[in-house]
Amino acid sequence: MRHQSVRTAYAYKWDPPDEVSRQNMHTLVTAATFLHGSCLTAAAGSRWDVLTFVPSTRRKLPIAQHPAAGLARSVFVEGEQPRRIVLSPGPRISEDKREILADRFCLPSEYQPHVAGRHVLVVDDTWTTGSKAQSAALTLRDAGASQVTVLCVVRWCRWDWPDHSRVLAGLDQPYDPFRCPVTGLGCPVANPLLA
């Protein structure tokens, strides 16, 4: 039996998507970036000025129609909108191994000038081992990005994986959306718009 959050992470990608799951995933992205965008940019040292997502290695949809593209469009941005770019499948896109590969994705040449020297926010829907998000980050760093931040909506955890079971066993507090993802401390006024 799957936990509800696992079902949500799958169902938002169904064809057609489960609408409640899709809305929940989008709300998580919007809330996280609205509440903690200033925390994330302060820790990174700069605001992200480029936005992309981790494209699926399995779906055959046009990349811009991937459900994760919609999640990236849900990022809350105050002020000047970041440049939006799309990563393309690289030569090792279909590698099933959970390895970090700089050539799993590639950056189309038309986006190269928009990445060099920039801070890129990469939205990923699910983090299992992190190999795809980290592969995307390597592609962007190789293209000249000065910094890459990954925002992942769902963390895939399993009790039967030893490193995961240690993390899960240590979770003794309920989820608190105001807890800072950077410091782990309470963040009662995470966004100045809430003050």
What CATH class has 4-194?
alpha beta
How many Cβ atoms sit within 10 Å of the Cβ of residue 99?
Answer: 13
DSSP state letters, 120-176 = EEEEEEEESSSHHHHHHHHHHHHTT-SEEEEEEEEE---TTSHHHHHHHHT--S---
How confident is the model over 100-111, as a mean pLDDT?
A: 92
Q: What is the mean pLDDT of the chain?
A: 85
pLDDT of residue 108: 94
Per-residue pLDDT at 1: 43
User: pLDDT for 71-90, tens place per residue?
Assistant: 999 999 988 899 999 998 88
Nearest to 137 by CA among 153, 150, 154, 152: 150
State pLDDT tens for residues 139-172: 999 999 999 999 998 877 778 878 878 877 888 8
Amino acid of residue 99: E
* Segment 33-60, tens digit of pLDDT: 998 888 888 888 889 999 999 987 666 6
> Minimal CA–CA distance to 85: which of 45, 112, 47?
112
The tokens of 15 are what? 């064809």
Does residue 191 register a pLDDT over 60?
A: no
Counting every residue written for the chain, the total comes to 195
Tell me: the pLDDT tens digits for 107-123?
999 999 999 999 999 99
Q: Please report the pLDDT score of residue 91 as a whole number.
A: 87
Which helix (DSSP H) or strand (DSSP E) does residue 35 occupy? helix 19-44
Q: Which helix (H) or strand (E) holds 89?
A: strand 88-89
The pLDDT of residue 180 is above 50: yes
**Which H or E element spans position 53?**
strand 50-53
User: Domain residues of the chain, as ranges?
Assistant: 4-194
